[in-house]
Amino acid sequence: MVIVITGIVAAMVAVFIRRPIDAYMDTARRAALADIADTAARFIARDVQRALPNSARSGNPAFLEFVPVVAAGRYRRDAGISSSDEPLDFGGPGKTFDVLGPAIDIPANASLVVYNLGIPGADVYETNSKVRRPATPGTNLDKVTFSGDPLAWTQDSPGRHFQIVVAPVSYVCDFATGTLWRYSGYAFQENQPLSVADLNGLGAARAPLATRLSACNFTYGPGPLQQNGLVSMSLSFSQDGETVTLLHQVNIDNVP
């Protein structure tokens, strides 16, 4: 009799506590998904803010590509009063110029970019780009040395700006595995790689940024005066019937 009564009481208690437990589990699951989405969006935002002006592109809602800037400064354009002054001469054979401002560090396999406009003839992604040259690596440099044809630069930067960049980066929504990937370390491509197979074929390194991805949408649009751009992202993550979607926008400086 005691066992029967205990079983009845336990069943009654279970009815009353089931809903609070289910609600707690649902809340915890939504919180975990929201944390995944927020962490991924913030990571991408910080990364994209380093984008070379006019290098962001998204030819497919599941793919976002840009060129990261690792150092930047202003170059000497005109000859100074010292014989050691070295201007960036767009009409001469010189391949070294003075950095005006703080010294910079140039990592291995980096490139020098001057006045990338993201249009044909002035596009960092072009195979024979007229705005990109291999840069000689070094630390605490007050002069930059580059290789390639110094006479083929497209044009002078109005602000005398230059950027040191590394290989492109792509964020990819892989719905086959439910993974948000970050690809890096692959060669510049005139046409944006728009498949996982293409990026894997380029020998790109990849790292998972988030799992449980169920939907995503990357869009990029330049500002009306071409001085800025806007990357918009929508990331959805799902688990056990619960879905959390986060919308995030990032402004990019497009002044080259």
Task: Report pLDDT for 43.
Answer: 96
Residue with tokens 């380029």: 202
Residue 11 has pLDDT above 70, yes or no: no
- Percent of the chain past pLDDT 90, that is, above it, reads 66
Comparison of pLDDT for 241 and 9, the residue scoring more: 241
Residue 224 has pLDDT above 90, yes or no: no
Rounded Cα gap, residues 71 and 104, in angstroms: 6
pLDDT tens sequence across 39-92: 999 999 999 999 999 999 999 999 999 999 999 999 998 877 787 889 988 777
Task: Report pLDDT for 225.
Answer: 56
Query: Which H or E run includes 26?
Result: helix 2-48
Task: Report pLDDT for 8.
Answer: 55
For 17-54, letters b (16+ CB in 10 Å) and e give: eeeeeeeeeeeebeeebeebbeebbeebeebbebbbbb
Q: What is the 3-state secondary structure (H, E, C) of 45-101?
A: HHHHCCECCCCCEEEECCEEEECEEEEEEEECCCCCCCCCCCCCCCCCCCCEEEEEC
The structure's pTM equals 0.87
Nearest to 51 by CA among 165, 218, 215: 165
Residue 152 has pLDDT above 80, yes or no: no
Nearest to 233 by CA among 43, 69, 54, 25: 43
Task: Report pLDDT for 7.
Answer: 52
Residue 20 has pLDDT above 70, yes or no: no
Return the minimum-mean-pLDDT range out of 15-29, 108-122, 193-207: 15-29
Task: Report pLDDT for 77.
Answer: 87
Rounded Cα gap, residues 45 and 233, in angstroms: 9
User: Rounded mean pLDDT of 15-27?
Assistant: 54
Query: Please, which pLDDT band fits residue 13 given cuts at 50, 70 and 90?
Result: very low
Residue 16 has pLDDT above 90, yes or no: no
Task: Report pLDDT for 1.
Answer: 65
Question: From residue 10, how far is each of 3, 16, 25, 174 by CA, in Å?
Answer: 10, 10, 21, 46
